[in-house]
Amino acid sequence: MVVPQMAAPAPGLEDSGDDEPRSVPYKVILLGDGAVGKTSIAMRFSQDHFAQSYKQTIGVDFFHKHIELPNGQRVALQIWDIGGQSIGGKMIGNYIYGAHAVLLCYDITNYQSFQDVEDWLRLVRRTFANETMPLVALVGNKVDLAHMRTVRSTKHNQFCDENDATPFFLCAKNGENVNTCFFKLAAMLAGVAVTKHEVESTTKVVTAEIINHQRHDPAEQGAAKPAKKCEIQ
Ligand code: G3D
Ligand code: MG
């Protein structure tokens, strides 16, 4: 996978001064249908320390967060949340442009939102027609609702194999795997190798919730298990 080189700092993320170690800025955009959890993911990731500013002029929410990688390198992620922008929105291509990473988000309980990921990816490809594609990740959100899953993980992984996307499953609601997702992305963007242990050490521990509902997908029947910590894919 080719990681795009940073041409210019993302707005608002320039080096903060002589005393501070330099953070390398990257633009990360969350794409996907409405209600899949994009805003919740951005909020969850940035909740510990975040600066949110609503840019009414262009209609996007930004979340900033700095991550320190194991080698001491600092990365500043500028997360773009497209708000109510639909895939047909006039500005959407402008928002995507210049992204270093694109998170294609869907709701694991909503098959349509998974199918629509294809359209979102097509839009990204069109936007980067003659340029290096950004890093693409596929994010299946709402794993706390695994008992209502309609998108099998094999489908998820197949999409990733076919489209050179990095697979993630997470839960914005309880924070499961959210930090590890962004930590891993930050490391990939910076070209820093991290061990599984280093990635896992960023995982937020969540209390397991025992759920025993009927599954919607017959193929997943019998596999119902208590919600548990996500694995890094
Ligand atoms: P969007 O920004 O993609 O449009 P939101 O999506 O972040 O606004 O989330 C849409 C709804 O999904 C919200 O519920 C939110 O609480 C819920 N949601 C987001 N992430 C999760 C998750 O991981 N698990 C569960 N169970 N729900 C989640 P409401 O009820 O406010 O519409
Ligand atoms: Mg939103």
Give 144 Cα–ligand 1 centroid separation in angstroms.
12
For the segment 224-233, what is each residue's pLDDT rounded down to a tens digit? 333 333 333 3
For the segment 29-87, what is each residue's pLDDT rounded down to a tens digit? 999 999 999 989 998 888 653 334 444 335 678 888 899 999 999 999 999 998 878 88
139 within 8 A of 151, measured Cβ to Cβ: no
pLDDT of residue 9: 44
Fill in the amino acid letter for 205.
V
pLDDT of residue 74: 93
Give 39 Cα–ligand 1 centroid separation in angstroms.
8
Instruction: Please provide the average confidence, as pLDDT, over all residues in the chain.
Output: 79
pLDDT of residue 83: 81
Which range of 164-168, 190-194, 211-215 scores highest in mean pLDDT? It is 164-168
Per-residue confidence band for 15, with pLDDT thresholds at 50, 70 and 90 = very low
The residue assigned the tokens 């998820």 is: 156
Give 162 Cα–ligand 1 centroid separation in angstroms.
28
The ligand 1 site (C-beta within 6 Å) comprises 34-40, 141-142, 144-145, 171-173
Fill in the amino acid letter for 185.
L
Residue 143 has pLDDT above 50, yes or no: yes
Fill in the amino acid letter for 72.
G
Strand pairing report for 101-107 and 166-169? unpaired
Torsion, Cα of 219, 223, 224, 227 (10° steps): -110
User: What single-letter DSSP state applies at residue 50?
Assistant: -
Per-residue confidence band for 21, with pLDDT thresholds at 50, 70 and 90 = low
Atom of ligand 1 nearest to the CA of 83: 2
The predicted model scores a pTM of 0.81
- What does the alpha-carbon distance between residue 198 and residue 200 come to, in Å, rounded to a whole number? 5
Mean pLDDT of 150-177: 96
